[in-house]
Structure 1
Amino acid sequence: MKFAVLVFPGSNCDIDCYKAVEAIGEQVDYVWHTATDLSGYDAILVPGGFSYGDYLRCGAIAQFANVMNEVKKAADEGKYILGICNGFQILTEANLLPGALIRNTGLKFRCHGTPLEVVNSNTAFTNQYSQGEIIDIPIAHGEGNYFCDEETLAELKANNQIVFRYAGETNPNGSVDNIAGISNKAGNVVGMMPHPERAVSQILGSEDGLRMFTSILNAWREQHGAAINS
């Protein structure tokens, strides 16, 4: 399997994503925002950071980068796309995911470990977790407050598109319905504010994020008739 890690001016979690893919033993390339061809990749990671300095709004400029046209094509083709933190913001700005990310209710940047509930374990990104499992994944954001209108929230629930929620009373940013991550209707595009790529080893404080990457690999191998035994 081959992963692309997108790099925008201001990305700062691209190396973390690259190392996470290396940890599962798969091929990975950095792909600059000017790229016009992603056809050689099976999965695309849109990393965290401050793309284009977060001018205007987080992700508002990145949505117009050349590579995003290719991300949209890849999404339509059913390839796996994971947007993390700023990547989640970019995917909403590009209308690949519904809703928007706005300022945290406390108006402070939050950076710490956070318990997440796995709401939907039946996705290409969560198949190595148990339904309802509580995992420890760090956050690092100032604009991670997920917002959508009531109609969109009802659709997310009806279509089982809510992938992660902040567990219990731990909502760090005011997100509606404690939402920490969602998918598109097809299930091949996921955006989340917490950083699984920063939780791939106990030396980092948690290895719960590693299973997101092995889940993607498992889904891809099942598509190709060779599921992993882990």
Structure 2
Amino acid sequence: MGMPDAEGHGPPEGLPDLPPEWGRVVVPDDASTLAEEARQVRRELRRVRRQAIWRRRLGPVGRPSVGLPMLVLLVAVLITLTGLAAVTWPRSSRSGGAPTVLPYPTAPVGPLPALDLVGPDDAPVPLRSLLPAMIVLVDACPCAEQVRTAAAAAPPEVTVVTVTQDRSAGVATAPGVRPLADPAGGLRSYLHLSAHPGTAAALLVDRQGTLVRVVPELGPAADYRDDLARLAG
């Protein structure tokens, strides 16, 4: 057994000899008094294990490791590819057909103002006296062929009106079409419709004076024939 210490205490019974630099070793009767020291030891062991795990992942300390830079680069590339995919991914139309493009999104759909247009004899013509009507704005394009097509497609109950800003342009371009003028540009101003050379816009207005549809560029009759039938109903 070991030698006694300065106070005459030897090592506890049943324990092997301990290094003298450890000093006096006291074994308490109640092991709960060592709980705090046990927690400190466990905490230190966990810290040592975590350091060992990170050393294995990143490589030995003091030697350059490519693991972490490669991980950062991979994350950056994934984020960039995700952003590009979100921007360039083709979006399908909910209706299954071609997407609807509205060149004039600010054009209101609702009651038209009580405007007076001007006839060939310079007499005022109340707009509401022509309803239901298909009003074709021909101040940017005579578009005679499109106007004739509209007149042929319109039911007898629907008045087809051509409107220009020039008072002297009140000449009918097709049988049954009523030419009128809007010198003040009240219709375009109310609808926020700009004149585009080579195109004629059309307004479909029901009996109550409600603008039910704006056709920004008058084309084939198939594009608006169903709307004309509803106006006549």
What is the TM-score normalised by the length of structure 2?
0.23
* Structure with higher helix content: 2
Between the two structures, name the one with larger relative contact order (CA 8 Å, sep ≥ 6): 1
Highest CA radius of gyration, 1 or 2? 2
What is the TM-score normalised by the length of structure 1?
0.23
* Structure with higher strand content: 1
